Amino acid sequence: MRYYDLAIPSHLAAALLPDLILIGGAMLLLLWAVWRRESASHQRGVGVLAIGICVATLVAVLLMMFDRPTASDGPIAVDNFRWMVDVVVLLGTIAAIALGIDDNDRTGTTTAESHVLMLLASSGMMLLGAARDLIIVFLGIELMSVAVYALAGMNRRSERSAEGSLKYFLLGAFSTAFLLYGIALVYGATGTTGLHEIHARVAAHQLNSSPLLLIGIGMLLVGFGFKVASVPFHMWAPDVYDGSPNPVTAYMAATVKAAAFAAFLRVWLEAFPSEFASWHKAVVGLAILTMIVGNAIGLQQRNLKRMLAYSSIAHAGYLLVAIASGTSQGASALIFYLLAYTLATFGAFSVLVVMSRGDAAVTTEDISGLWTVRPWLAVAMTVFMMALMGFPVIGGMGFLAKWYILKAALQAPTPQTTLAVILVLTTVISAGYYLYVVMVMFMRPRADLAPVVGHTGAWTRFVVVACALAILIIGIAPDYTVRYATVGVPRVAPADSTAVAPTAARTAAAR
């Protein structure tokens, strides 16, 4: 087992090895992408090289995970929570680039920079998963966001894409201002930006009721709320998702959300456990609103892209339940849920890539009777819908993901019974639009005006099959994955248990 002293530059660089492989590979690939004339073959070649860089980075992450190194306190974490976040991010990036290769061919796009931008955005996401300092959190968010702003507007011939990109940029900049101002106020109250040091100084100087600190926490919550598209900070998501290219939408809905939630949870568990009573009610309120609004509006959608956008908002509410539990068990549940959600989301969007024709939206009418023309595609879409809904057996991985969040909520020192009940009820509501998709594929005749389902690209077929098999296999035999998700928790500050449930702690001490 290796030990990294993060005060030594060489040790810090070694702890950042996977991140350096990704960012270094992205910069070299950028030079190659702009060196040659634009063409369909060059676009595909850059995409394949980008996937190769992601695979090399994933290998480095897995080696670090199995080596289980430890490290001193520093600006980055060296723990399994970080490695599990990296695995989710890299799997999502590989799927997004693979879908992008075929989608670019379909739309006649010959520019290759989208693949490089995804690598750059993913390097920011990996930095977010590792951040144990608010300045590193800000750098990771900016590196991720600037690249994703450009990705959202990659289809320069589409007005909807330009509109979505502009909305994303304006509201993203607005949310970043809240986040940065919150960081400044927290620094003003504690004199540090390190997560562990913030908790230590709050405890040492009894800053729990400091107005400066509480306002800073509130602004951080608003900033993170925008990044994860929680209600009422969600208004940008449907338009941005609808206007972006399908692979980019899947990337934003799953991978960007995973990285933002990873940073959100680590900041809350490591820096502010002592302020649990102050931020807990706000997070509970956001979770309830997000679960209800996301599912209620999702019921009204017939545009599949917008339906998946509101589904993404609803899933943000489920993930907020894990944060509201305020425990390491909630962190483990969040990681497993992000993995299941990423697989199901990319699988569903890979089907949309197959069904898309030009800039027109794919509706439920377009997939009516899909079983009669592409049975394997209809079966795969059923697996993805069942996983997103959390249906046992067929969508077993999604079911287990929700089960672990429910378990974390109910077994928290302060049981989150209300959140658990609302999670179950809104999951039942979500069946109204997930099962509707399944119904039209299998129980309605193929519409006369439905588009002809064209050839499925090799990379898209790979994503569809890989995501469906992963959901089915992990759902049937989840033990191996769960074991690593269980140890993949951030280090919780020593006073966390008493901070999370002071009443329970005092009662136990009295006994």
**Domain limits, the chain:** 8-510
Compute the distance between CA of residue 416 and CA of residue 457 in angstroms, rounded to an integer.
45
The predicted structure's pLDDT at residue 476: 83
- Residue 499 in this model has a pLDDT that exceeds 50: no
Instruction: Tell me the average pLDDT across 320-338.
Output: 90
- Residue 506 in this model has a pLDDT that exceeds 60: no
- Residue 387 in this model has a pLDDT that exceeds 90: yes
The predicted structure's pLDDT at residue 487: 65
Compute the distance between CA of residue 456 and CA of residue 397 in angstroms, rounded to an integer.
26
Q: Find the length of the chain.
A: 511
Compute the distance between CA of residue 111 and CA of residue 37 in angstroms, rounded to an integer.
9
Q: What is the pLDDT of residues 125-181, one digit of tens each?
A: 999 999 999 999 999 999 999 999 999 888 777 777 888 888 888 888 888 999 999
Phi (first) and psi of residue 303, to 5 degrees: -80, 115
Contacts with 495 (C-beta within 8 Å, 6 or more apart), sequence order: 199, 203, 273, 274
489 band by pLDDT with thresholds 50, 70 and 90: low
- Residue 398 in this model has a pLDDT that exceeds 60: yes
The region of weakest confidence among 194-198, 268-272, 391-395 is 391-395
Instruction: Tell me the average pLDDT across 12-19.
Output: 93
- The HSE-up count of residue 447 (CA atoms within 13 Å, CB side) is 12
The predicted structure's pLDDT at residue 88: 95
292 versus 501: the higher-pLDDT residue is 292
Kindly report whether the peptide bond that precedes residue 392 is cis, defined as omega within 30 degrees of 0. Answer: no
- Residue 377 in this model has a pLDDT that exceeds 70: yes
The predicted structure's pLDDT at residue 509: 34
498 band by pLDDT with thresholds 50, 70 and 90: very low
Nearest to 48 by CA among 342, 465, 353, 459: 459
Residue 122 tokens, joined: 């993913």
Residue 146 tokens, joined: 């600037």
Residue 483 tokens, joined: 């074991």
Nearest to 280 by CA among 333, 223, 324: 324
Question: What is the three-state SS of 86-147?
Answer: HHHHHHHHHHHHHHHHHHHHHHCCCCCHHHHHHHHHHHHHHHHHHECEHHHHHHHHHHHHHH
480 versus 173: the higher-pLDDT residue is 173
501 band by pLDDT with thresholds 50, 70 and 90: very low
Task: Name the DSSP letter for residue 252.
Answer: I
- Residue 94 in this model has a pLDDT that exceeds 90: yes
Handedness of CA 226, 231, 232, 234 (dihedral sign): positive
The predicted structure's pLDDT at residue 441: 92
Nearest to 399 by CA among 410, 384, 385, 389: 389
The region of weakest confidence among 153-167, 179-193, 340-354 is 153-167
The predicted structure's pLDDT at residue 491: 55
The predicted structure's pLDDT at residue 495: 39
Residue 195 tokens, joined: 């997560």
Instruction: Tell me the average pLDDT across 74-85.
Output: 90
Compute the distance between CA of residue 172 and CA of residue 168 in angstroms, rounded to an integer.
6
Q: Are 419 and 287 in contact (CB under 8 A)?
A: yes
The predicted structure's pLDDT at residue 328: 86
